[in-house]
Structure 1
Amino acid sequence: MTEQAIRTTVVGSYPFPGWLEFVSKNLDQFGTPDIEEAIEDAVIAAIHDQTAAGLDVITDGEQTRLDFNLSFYGFINGIENNPSDTRKFGPAAHDQRGKNNIVGELGAPNGLGAVKEFERLKKLAPKGPVLKASIPGPYTLAGRLLPNQRYKDRYAITEALLPMVRQELEALVAAGCTEITVDEPSMSCYAYKADTQRFVDIFNRTVSTVQGKCHLSTHLCFGNFKGRPVGYRSIRPMLPDFLDFNVDEIHIEMANREFSELELLAPFAEKMKVAVGIIDVKNYYVESVEDVVERIQRCLEHVPAEKLSVAPDCGLSQTARWAARKKLANMVAGAKIVREGL
């Protein structure tokens, strides 16, 4: 079977429709049936925009999530929100994202909610595009939980969360999900100052039971809260250790960094497929079709076409919907031109 050359895909999240933000901030005014209807309508809208653009791979846009990882804490026992531990005023930054105290044994007896999201996506999506689910990895998920006497540091919290994430991945595969992204941006953000071999061990143990049972990828970026990065933005500290991730595909942010270190994609391409972020989700410049063609051609100097996917740098949740639509449409159009010219 010939591999799809230059697949077009997305990381996971998509902008909320404006009315969904209103609903989410006024839940007390809506009944449960109203809320379920709003969720389904939002997923339909996300599916529509992605399929209208012509993407090969789509998601549910993470329309039921408050945030790509914060919403998962609602499924985990033993934690409570700590509203006082975040900065409230001043320029937007990652220290304004929510934090949680650990007040008991961590557990997720009813799963993390990703399976229900995928089942809804299966029900609503048309035939044709591949359906993908995304879930944060345990190290990233541990980042907003505050250590205590029982869980003394982030690594201890990670180890407690790891089996929950692994079980959710297993449940997704059992539900028929053939493509899964495990988001671990915290690993790429802190690779410059952490034990990268330990990161690889954590990741590979997380995915060990689903490896080979789905198209498994990981998303590595440098942060995107309200359009702002947070980590040291270099691929170099990830090498060579991150080459040992047990994945079919690795997704790396490039457009926002002006394609710096593009040549470092080559060693990844020797071991796995590479999804390159060629659309800048932090910038309201809408990349033209010509921009996309030129960027893909540059990527092909380091990644073979059959191993290359193209995508936005990160999820699109922090980008206005009007811009997301145009960016995705131009990305797909540019990819088609290059693919037909191969």
Structure 2
Amino acid sequence: MSVKNRPPFRYDIVGSFLRPAALKEKREAFAAGKISAADLKEAEDAAIQDLVAKEKEVGLHAVTDGEFRRRYWHLDFLTELEGVTEISAENWSVHFKGAQPKARTAKITGPISFGNHPFLDHFRFLKETAGDTLAKMTIPSPSMLHLICCVREKHYEPIPQYQDQNRLFTDIALAYQQAIRSFYAAGCRYLQLDDTSWGEFCDADKRKAYAERGFDLDELANHYVDMINRALEAKPDDMTITMHICRGNFRSTWFSSGGYGPVAETLFGRCHVDGFFLEYDSDRAGGFEPLRFIKDQQVVLGLVTSKTPELEKEEDIIAQIREAEKYVPLDQLCLSPQCGFSSTEEGNLLTEKEQWAKLRLIRSIAEKVWEDA
């Protein structure tokens, strides 16, 4: 039987990879003013070319650039949108269970638009490097811009343009329509929207805290799905757009906990993405029952953790896939790590060798479970 010919694939990846030591050194040198932006780009290019070769070697059907040009999985993209500015996060509201990331955040300062976004050139380089292999691009979901600027920020004050929140939702959706069309024109056929808002909406403590601040998260969840669906109206038929959902991933730590129950009917039942990459590597993600709300989307089960180096047992992962199959047909299921290996440039607490061992394990399991892996 031939390999599944459209993403997401039976064994797939979320996107980010551990930064090589040499690239980290170059980035530190750039930050210290010791090398130029051109020098840093040259180092990034070389590191991405090496990474893509390794991704192909491990047998991936779609490759990413590892997010090697980014500091964060989200802010580097969001703050390059027109009308969005990066600022210091003095009242940082995201607290991981351990080490904390650099306190930076985004602020809406003007009309939002996609503009001439630098990530387009990032994708073009990846596509050229990937050659005949499908190039996968990852960007933060539309929800993340609103969540970061308007929900997490305790002192949010809308600019005059966005006193009407519906206008803000509309402009974010239209900016993402521009993004989808622009990436497609650059040759992108596999785009992923990374989204931690749903992880927060699943967390009982966070739901309580947001409710105390006056947020109706059920209403907000509906707004987010509507906004994402409007963005997806720009998606051509031969383009796959998926969504990755997790509960935080910084230096092998996390910041949200709770099963998908509170959002499942709204998100799985109404969101028009082609597939969901779902974190399922720990008890914090709950059980598979909420998957009963899945419609025709593919579900990529994130059963192998990217947070720790220990390899899972194949028989345990296969048993979990069989359990998920009670709620979603096997043909709609795939397998991946629960998240990337380096959502920020610091990376999780495992080695590159251990990172690649995880992907070989995922491939081995997938080939045992699916004939078209």
Counterpart amino acid of residue 276 in structure 1: L
Distance 1:86 1:216, change over 3 A: same
Contact 1:190 1:232 in 2 (8 A): no
The gaps in structure 2 that reach 5 residues or longer are: 208-216
Larger mean Cα displacement after TM superposition, 5-14 or 131-140: 5-14
Give the letter aligned to residue 306 of structure 2.
V
Q: Verify the 8 A CA contact 1:79 1:100 in the aligned structure 2.
A: yes
Other-structure match for 2:363: 332
Structure 1 spans left out of the alignment, 5+ residues: none
Deviation sequence 1:164-209 (CA, Å, 0-9, x none): 2221111111222111112222134225633222221111011111
Question: What is the CA-CA distance between 1:82 and the residue it aligns to?
Answer: 2.9
Distance in 2 between residues matched to 1:41 and 1:58, nearest whole Å:
15
CA distance in 2, matches of 1:175, 1:90: 36
What displacement does 1:17 show? 0.9
Pairwise CA RMSD: 3.1
Residues 78-93 of structure 1: pairs in structure 2 closer than 5 A: 78-83=83-88, 85-86=90-91, 92=98
Partner of 2:279: 253
Selected match of 2:43 from 20, 28, 38:
38
1:263 maps to what in 2?
289
Tell me: CA distance 1:202–1:104, structure 2 relative to 1, closer, same or farther (3 Å): closer
Aligned pair in 2 of structure 1 residues 125, 95: CA closer, same or farther (>3 Å)? closer
Q: How far off its partner does 1:65 sit?
A: 1.4
In structure 2, C-alpha distance between the alignment counterparts of 1:209 and 1:85, rounded to whole Å: 37
2:127–2:187 Cα contact (<8 Å) kept: no
**Segments of 4+ moved more than 6 angstroms:** 88-91, 153-156
Amino acid corresponding to residue 235 of structure 1 in structure 2: Y
Cα contact 1:248–1:273 (8 A) shared by 2: yes
Q: 1:131 aligns with which of 121, 125, 135?
A: 135
Tell me the amino acid that sits aligned with residue 30 of structure 1.
I
- Per-residue deviation, 1:301: 3.9
SS at match of 1:322: helix
The alpha carbon displacement at 1:2 in A equals 7.4
Q: Which position in structure 1 is the counterpart of 2:218? A: 194
Among 59, 81, 103, the alignment partner of 2:64 is: 59
Which residue is 1:16 aligned to? 19
**How far did 1:124 drift?**
1.0
Quick one: which of 256, 265, 268 aligns to 1:240? 265
Which one-letter code corresponds to 1:110 in the other structure? N
Q: Verify the 8 A CA contact 1:189 1:223 in the aligned structure 2.
A: no
Q: Is it true that 1:185 corresponds to 2:205 in the alignment?
A: no
CA distance in 1, matches of 2:263, 2:100: 22
Aligned CA distance change for structure 1 residues 79 and 169 (closer, same or farther; 3 Å): closer
Where do residues 58-77 of structure 1 align in structure 2 (5 Å cutoff)?
58-77=63-82
Deviation at 1:143, TM superposition (A): 3.5
1:221 corresponds to which residue? Answer: 246
> In the alignment, is the contact (CA less than 8 A) between 1:276 and 1:311 conserved in 2?
yes
Q: Which residue of 2 aligns with 1:119?
A: 124
Distance 1:224 1:177 in 2: 26
> Per the alignment, in what secondary structure is the counterpart of residue 239 of structure 1?
helix
Q: For residues 164 and 55 of structure 2, what CA distance do their matches in structure 1 show?
A: 40
In 1, Cα distance between equivalents of 2:44 and 2:235? 29
Answer whether contact 2:139 2:192 (CA < 8 A) is retained.
Answer: yes
SS at match of 1:39: helix
Q: For the residues of structure 2 that align with 1:310 and 1:90, how far apart are their CA atoms?
A: 26
Contact 1:11-1:219 at 8 Å conserved across structures? yes
CA–CA separation in structure 1 for the residues paired with 2:100 and 2:110: 26
User: Deviation per CA, 1:138-164, whole angstroms, max 9, x where unpaired?
Assistant: 221333335334146987655443322
2:329 maps to which residue?
Answer: 304
Measure the CA separation in 1 of the matches of 2:96 and 2:125.
38
CA distance in 2: counterparts of 1:155 and 1:13, whole angstroms: 33
Match of 1:176, as an amino acid?
G
CA contact (8 A) 1:277 1:314 kept: yes
Q: Could you tell me how far apart the structure 1 residues matched to 2:183 and 2:18 are?
A: 23
Shift of residue 311, structure 1, vs aligned partner = 0.7
CA contact (8 A) 1:255 1:278 kept: yes
After superposition, the C-alpha distances for 1:62-82 in whole angstroms (9 at most, x for unaligned) are 111111111114423444443
Shift of 1:136: 1.1
The one-letter amino acid of 1:326's match is: A
Partner of 2:338: 313
The change in CA–CA distance for 1:55 and 1:3 in structure 2 (over 3 A counts) is: closer
* Identity score, percent: 23
1:40 Cα deviation (Å)? 0.9
Contact persistence 1:53–1:328 (CA under 8 A)? yes
